[in-house]
Amino acid sequence: MIGKWRVGAAAVAVVMLLVFSSACDAELNIGDKGPDWTGIVGTDDKQHSLSDYKDAKLVVMVFTCNHCPVAKAYEDRLVSLQEDYKAKGVQVIAVNVNNLPADRLDKMKERAAEKRFNFPYLYDKTQKIGHDYGAKVTPHVFVLDGKRRLAYVGAIDDSMRPGGVKTHFLRDALDALLAGSKPPKAVTKQFGCSVKYEKK
Amino acid sequence: MKRNSVARRKVFGRFAYRLGVMPMTMFVGLFFLGCSGSSTRGPLPETGQASESQPAEVGKPPDDSEVTLNLVDEKELRAVLERHRGKVVLVDFWATWCAPCKKLFAHTVELYERFADRGLVVVSVSLDDPAAESDVIEFLQERGATFENFISRYKAGPETMELFEIDEGALPHLRIYDRDGKLYRKFAINTTAPVAEEIDRTMVELLGP
Q: What is the mean pLDDT of residues B20-45?
A: 35
Contacts of A68 in chain B (CB under 8 A): 97
Q: What residue ranges do the domains of chain A occupy?
A: 27-194
Q: Which of A140, A164, A192 sits opposite B155 (nearest CB)?
A: A164
B174, pLDDT greater than 70: yes
Q: How far apart are CA A104 and CA A101, in angstroms?
A: 6
Assess whether B48 and B146 both reside in one domain: no
**Residue contact B170–A194, C-beta within 8 A:** yes
B45, pLDDT greater than 70: no
Provide the percentage of residues in chain A whose pLDDT is more than 90. 86
How do residues A90-117 score in pLDDT, each as one tens digit? Answer: 999 999 999 999 999 999 999 999 999 9
A54, pLDDT greater than 90: yes
Question: A194 CB near a chain B CB, below 8 Å?
Answer: yes
- Final residue belonging to a domain, choices B64, B83, B111: B64
**Residue contact B159–A189, C-beta within 8 A:** yes
Provide the percentage of residues in chain B whose pLDDT is more than 90. 64
How do residues A10-51 score in pLDDT, each as one tens digit? Answer: 555 554 544 444 444 568 999 999 999 999 999 999 999 999
Assess whether B60 and B74 both reside in one domain: no
Structure pTM?
0.79
Q: What is the interface pTM, i.e. ipTM, of the complex?
A: 0.85
pLDDT of residue A195: 96
Assess whether B80 and B147 both reside in one domain: yes
Q: How far apart are CA B96 and CA A30, in angstroms?
A: 33
> Which has more pLDDT, B18 or A170?
A170
pLDDT of residue B135: 97
B15, pLDDT greater than 70: no
A1, pLDDT greater than 70: no
B12, pLDDT greater than 90: no
Contacts of B162 in chain A (CB under 8 A): 189
Domain count, chain B: 2
B140, pLDDT greater than 50: yes
Assess whether B117 and B177 both reside in one domain: yes
pLDDT of residue A178: 98
C-beta separation of B138 from B13 below 8 A:
no
**Residue contact A136–B168, C-beta within 8 A:** yes
B2 min Cα distance to partner chain A (Å): 13
Q: Which of A69, A154, A164 sits opposite B97 (nearest CB)?
A: A69
B104, pLDDT greater than 90: yes
Contacts of A156 in chain B (CB under 8 A): none
Assess whether B88 and B130 both reside in one domain: yes
Other CB atoms within 10 Å distance of the CB of residue A185: 15
pLDDT of residue B54: 39
**Residue contact A158–B155, C-beta within 8 A:** yes
Q: Which domain holds residue B90?
A: 66-209
- Final residue belonging to a domain, choices B34, B64, B94: B64
Q: What is the mean pLDDT of residues B57-68?
A: 57
pLDDT of residue B73: 98
Question: A161 CB near a chain B CB, below 8 Å?
Answer: yes
User: Best interface-test mutation with B: which of A20, A74, A140, A160 has the largest number of B CBs within 10 A?
Assistant: A160
Kindly give the residue spans of alpha helices, DSSP state H, lying in chain B: 14-19, 21-41, 74-83, 99-115, 133-143, 158-163, 196-207
Assess whether B138 and B51 both reside in one domain: no
- Give residue ranges of B with CB < 8 Å to any A CB: 97-99, 129, 131-132, 155-162, 168-170, 189-190
pLDDT of residue B192: 83
A128, pLDDT greater than 50: yes
Q: Which of A140, A155, A194 sits opposite B157 (nearest CB)?
A: A155
B125, pLDDT greater than 90: yes
In the 3-class helix/strand/coil scheme, how is A66-90 assigned residue by residue?
CCCHHHHHCHHHHHHHHHHHCCCCE
Confidence of residue B27 (pLDDT cuts 50, 70, 90): very low
Q: What is the mean pLDDT of residues B20-48?
A: 35
Assess whether B51 and B74 both reside in one domain: no
Q: How far apart are CA B56 and CA B138, in angstroms?
A: 8
Say how many CA atoms lie within 13 Å of B4 toward its Cβ: 2
B32, pLDDT greater than 60: no
pLDDT of residue B131: 95
C-beta separation of B28 from B53 below 8 A:
yes
Assess whether B83 and B58 both reside in one domain: no
Question: A103 CB near a chain B CB, below 8 Å?
Answer: no
**Residue contact A161–B129, C-beta within 8 A:** yes
Assess whether B208 and B123 both reside in one domain: yes
Architecture of the domain defined by A27-194 = 3-Layer(aba) Sandwich (3.40)
Confidence of residue A170 (pLDDT cuts 50, 70, 90): very high
Q: How far apart are CA A157 and CA A180, in angstroms?
A: 21
Question: By CA distance, what is B189's nearest residue in A?
Answer: A194
**Residue contact B131–A161, C-beta within 8 A:** yes
How do residues A159-169 score in pLDDT, each as one tens digit? Answer: 999 999 999 99
Q: How far apart are CA B92 and CA A62, in angstroms?
A: 29
Contacts of B98 in chain A (CB under 8 A): 69, 193
User: Best interface-test mutation with B: which of A138, A193, A196 has the largest number of B CBs within 10 A?
Assistant: A193
Assess whether B97 and B183 both reside in one domain: yes
Assess whether B100 and B73 both reside in one domain: yes
Confidence of residue A4 (pLDDT cuts 50, 70, 90): low
Assess whether B75 and B149 both reside in one domain: yes
Q: Which of B131, B161, B190 sits opposite A191 (nearest CB)?
A: B161
